[in-house]
Amino acid sequence: MPKVKVIGAGLAGSEAAWQLACRGIEVELCDMKPESMSPAHHSGNFGELVCSNSLRGAGLENAPGLLKEELRRLGSLVMYAADRHRVAAGGALAVDRELFSREITEKLTSHSGITFTGGEVSAIPDSGDVIVATGPLTSGALAQDIIRFFGGEDTLSFYDAAAPIVDAATIDMNSAFFASRYNKGTADYINCPMTEDEYRIFWEALKDAKEAAVHGFEDKKVFEGCMPVEVMARRGYETLRYGPLKPVGLSDPRSSQPPFAVVQLRKDNREGTLYNLVGFQTHLTFGEQKRVFSMIPALRNADFVRYGVMHRNTYLNSPKLLGGFYEAKICPRVSFAGQMTGVEGYIESAASGLYAAAAMAGRLLGVAPFKLGSDTATGALAAYISGGAAGDFQPMNINFGIMTPLSIGAGKLKKRDKNLKISERALEALDKAILRAGLDIPQN
């Protein structure tokens, strides 16, 4: 029986292990937890969400929604757990992060084809098939060995941040209101409005607040898709109002007018006892987070059950190093998956693990490779990572811009209609690819 070692039990590694095991391949799943924990981790479960609990838009008019639907059709364990443990979040798919990771852990540990080995892995094995999915928090020893493995090719780095979480019972609802932007979906977000004077005071404090000490931190190294809120504040007075504090599409029921700025809070668990500050990834010291974020009127007396944290992330120069199935060009028995490849986002990480595992399973079982084109979200992401990036390679979320454009004449369509057509075409292409390859879809 073929055997694969999967290093890392985050979203990418968990998905890869599941896809392999469900195809009859013996899997050794290795993870440093619970023996060793990074600053961003809080439990020993697999598939832990360390930043937001949102898996982003749920509809097919947006690229993340399309990617999620593709993963469902491919038997994704991550999507199975997400759908089972979703919490209300308007038009987005958010999950109870504890129940979500517990579900993934239970499914993997109960599978007869998967064995788990705890403890840090410091080197890529010299033989055998391997998927390295240790994430952006890859330990120093393994990171150095990955550099050695690629013959000295430097890894790149960026910094990632996690948002604070507050106790819902301590939010001042006299200064807040429930609503979803443009009344899309149900009113699941707690909106904390600010007047122009309140915003100005908050902005002044935020841009000058003290950051935690992280060696080598520079604003220019912050990945734009997960930028700390204080970095945004330093970029200008209006930056936050066009970002996480934008008031567009919201109306304060007390005045029937849009607020000058608004902080949105989203459920972090199913019971709704915890809420996270949407877009408030931060690098501030814990004391400064309490001081500055308490200037938001609805949070003046809020209890912060978890403060935001900042940590150094690394990713590969994947267009030079990886092939179209996330395999190492110099040694195809070794594949990589997750954020260390340059995919950015929870669902993107799961997609890379699924696609890398499906390709490896095909090779080991002697069947034709399951190949997707850039007319699908899963295929487009793999193509971008393996060479579709032009110039300076940067981490990428799934978006319609990296997918094959529609034929001539589509420019007359409205954006929403255009996106829906791209999604319809993608799902049709995916279904055809599954049939063509005779792909065995895992049954969750």
Tokens of 252: 């304060």
Helix (H) or strand (E) holding 337: none
- Strand pairing partners for 29? 6, 116
Which pLDDT tens digits describe the chain residue by residue (444 residues)? 799 999 999 999 999 999 999 999 999 999 987 666 555 556 678 998 877 888 888 899 999 999 999 999 999 999 999 999 999 888 889 999 999 999 999 999 999 999 999 999 999 999 999 999 998 878 889 989 999 999 876 666 666 667 899 989 899 999 999 998 877 777 889 999 999 999 999 999 999 999 886 544 444 455 556 788 999 999 999 999 999 999 998 988 888 788 999 999 998 877 788 899 999 999 899 999 999 999 999 999 999 988 987 766 788 989 999 999 999 999 999 999 999 998 988 999 999 999 999 999 999 999 988 999 999 999 999 999 998 655 567 778 898 888 888 886 666 778 788 899 999 999 999 999 999 999 999 988
> Cα torsion at 137, 141, 142, 145 (round to 10°)?
140
Contact yes or no for 87/96 (Cβ under 8 A): yes
- Assess whether the previous peptide bond of 258 is cis (omega < 30° from 0): no
| Phi, psi dihedral angles at 418 (to 5 degrees) | -65, -45
pTM greater than 0.85 (yes/no): no
The three-state secondary structure class of 265 is strand
DSSP string, 180-204: -GGG-SS--EEEEEE-HHHHHHHHH
Buried/exposed 351-381: b ≥16 CB within 10 Å, e otherwise: bbbbbbbbbbbbbbeeeeebbbbbbbbbbbb
Query: What type of residue sits at position 160?
Result: D
Count CB atoms within 10 A of the CB of residue 148: 12
